[in-house]
Structure 1
């Protein structure tokens, strides 16, 4: 089978591996679609994501869906459509014991160099996963849309960290795919208004196509002062934190969803104290994958987030397109026939 493997900065290759065989408790999945994430781009371009540097070749990809090829237990018939939960919490640490497995200190994640040996990802024709990592997809959900389940779950977790957004005025700072998916999830959760911001025109157009109420182009338009109950900072740009804090009402909530680069960063934080704003981090997700699948099965409103689909053989071109947010939203790899 072919797999997309990064060997170092700028060194992306198709490596050929034997098709694996599952043991009891494992399932062989024929992957059909994989979404390219920012972390995949960082490994490809820089050989690292933050402090997680490559120490061995790594199969990229953690936003993966497909069909069951073989289940030794006989539980899942061949051809069953599934989404793959990319996390493997340890089950033994204090965080797992407290039921917050998404921040497990020993977790492994598909396509990640955070641990060694690295956790190989899903940009391959086949992969082996534990049976409990699979979520059976409903018949109303095409695999081409289900590939959004993982990044949408990230947005849903951020909304849960905010304490819910029903009836709230919500600002999403940054209109990349996760930001737009979080905004769409906020609309589905009953938010009264949802705005998104960005520096570029295309992400704002995609956000409007996906159903947000209003967009703000940074540098051209102005955000209202103290207007929003909740702000989700999804850009990971520290310069965006100050404006988001200014736009949140007194005793509002700011959820930091975008990942900052390593090292100290300046930010305007005076409003944090003066307005008694709650600031909360949001990292990955846990049970929200099931909620994400249900949301995607019920509506195609978030389909505009996917702007390009490439065959696996064109993965290098796909990576280059995905790296340009002025011309793309979510870029998807077609890993095998669906």
Structure 2
């Protein structure tokens, strides 16, 4: 019996805080139900950055070396036994979460809440499931989604953060004709604005403390109007913080000329003052969608929500969103969405890319939004 020829590949592996190494790894053939994908584009995300800087993200701590990256697209290079929905050479978006398909949440269509879900690049489960910052990866074929012909690999990787917003919009029952306020204009906030506009929302506005990002949102028509809040030192007492949030909410509503508030408020910062303001800036009977993660324990003006029937909704990742995300990217309805990608690096430059993301501005003082790690498209010979 002849020995199996082992192939090797490079992977950007995090060994601890700021300890990212290019490791040589054995590339195994895909197993039952898996396809092997050559990863072409990976977008770096805030959770990746937390792992890079601190070796942890919230409660999830690195327990062994981990490949980061989960916003990705690539080309199928091989399929394992039993795979019939994909063929080598096919372009796909990679959905990073692998659900158990065997629990109540999975059977109810809410697999994002599956207790046994393993998410590539997350340290929540152990052994960790490696992410996409490697040349090739084996991944279950049922969570690989064919890219429409006119959707690039970069756009395909944006299907992941876009999925977060599609899921949140479904939870908020967002529909044509509603007014929308977005707190925070990082990638997620900008995608929230773009998605709301694609749904036919007549007024989509954004609030942030970063003037440059707000100007970007307005200049590119992603938001109709913007308001810059001045950053203030944290209040010493919860009562003072709540009073200040109420005053700032009034300033926001006054600036936009919407005294009654907005139908749907997307909170994309995770910052306590913004969560508090979100409740005050929602219209009576409106909805606040909590998307940003950051503050673990928050003082909330609950009576302001309860007495006006403002629904406060949580949102965690996404389920059954990729087909809609890819169709939307193919439709061209997401205005200037490609402009979100501001910087590109090769796989070997991943540590440099994370350091740029940490600084938030490049050498020329330019704004850093979505940073992509790019690899060459494999030739059809492989």
- TM-score, normalised relative to structure 2: 0.84
Matched, 1:65 2:76: no
Q: Distance in 1 between matches of 2:209 and 2:360?
A: 10
Contact kept, 8 Å, 2:214 with 2:226, in 1: the verdict is yes
Q: Distance in 2 between matches of 1:75 and 1:286?
A: 20
- Give per-residue Cα distances to partners, 1:21-46, cap 9 Å, x unaligned: 11231101000000001110011101
3-state SS of paired residue (1:148): helix
3-state SS of paired residue (1:154): helix
Q: How does 1:127-276 map to 2 (within 5 A)?
A: 127-208=137-218, 209=220, 211-219=222-230, 222-224=251-253, 225-262=259-296, 264-276=297-309
Partner residue of 1:38? Answer: 46
Partner residue of 2:30? Answer: 22
Matched, 1:94 2:129: no
Q: Distance in 2 between matches of 1:281 and 1:287?
A: 17
Q: How does 1:2-21 map to 2 (within 5 A)?
A: 2-21=10-29
Contact kept, 8 Å, 2:287 with 2:311, in 1: the verdict is yes
Partner residue of 2:351? Answer: 316
Q: Distance in 2 between matches of 1:284 and 1:202?
A: 27
Q: Distance in 2 between matches of 1:226 and 1:304?
A: 33
Q: How does 1:76-87 map to 2 (within 5 A)?
A: 76-87=86-97
Partner residue of 2:369? Answer: 329
3-state SS of paired residue (1:279): strand
Q: Distance in 2 between matches of 1:24 and 1:89?
A: 16
Contact kept, 8 Å, 1:59 with 1:111, in 2: the verdict is yes
3-state SS of paired residue (1:106): coil
Contact kept, 8 Å, 1:157 with 1:282, in 2: the verdict is yes
Shift of 1:201: 2.1
Structure 1 residues 289 and 206, CA, compared in 2 at 3 Å: closer, same or farther? farther
- Give per-residue Cα distances to partners, 1:126-169, cap 9 Å, x unaligned: 00011101100111111122221100110111111101231100
Shift of 1:289: 1.3
Q: Distance in 2 between matches of 1:324 and 1:261?
A: 22
Contact kept, 8 Å, 1:153 with 1:288, in 2: the verdict is yes
- Give per-residue Cα distances to partners, 1:276-331, cap 9 Å, x unaligned: 21000011011111111111112162111111111111111111222344521111
3-state SS of paired residue (2:204): strand
Q: Distance in 1 between matches of 2:295 and 2:278?
A: 18
Question: Which structure has the larger Rg over C-alpha atoms?
Answer: 2
3-state SS of paired residue (1:223): helix
Q: Distance in 2 between matches of 1:230 and 1:53?
A: 34
- TM-score, normalised relative to structure 1: 0.95
3-state SS of paired residue (2:27): coil
Aligned residues: 337
Structure 1 residues 267 and 336, CA, compared in 2 at 3 Å: closer, same or farther? farther
Contact kept, 8 Å, 2:272 with 2:295, in 1: the verdict is no
3-state SS of paired residue (2:26): coil
Q: Which runs of no fewer than 5 residues in structure 2 stay unpaired?
A: 1-8, 232-247, 254-258, 362-366
Of 241-250 and 202-211, the range deviating more from structure 2: 202-211
Structure 1 residues 156 and 233, CA, compared in 2 at 3 Å: closer, same or farther? same
Q: Distance in 2 between matches of 1:241 and 1:193?
A: 21
Q: Distance in 2 between matches of 1:329 and 1:269?
A: 34
Contact kept, 8 Å, 1:236 with 1:258, in 2: the verdict is yes
Q: Distance in 2 between matches of 1:77 and 1:37?
A: 29
Q: Which runs of no fewer than 5 residues in structure 1 stay unpaired?
A: none
1:289 to 322, 330, 335: 322
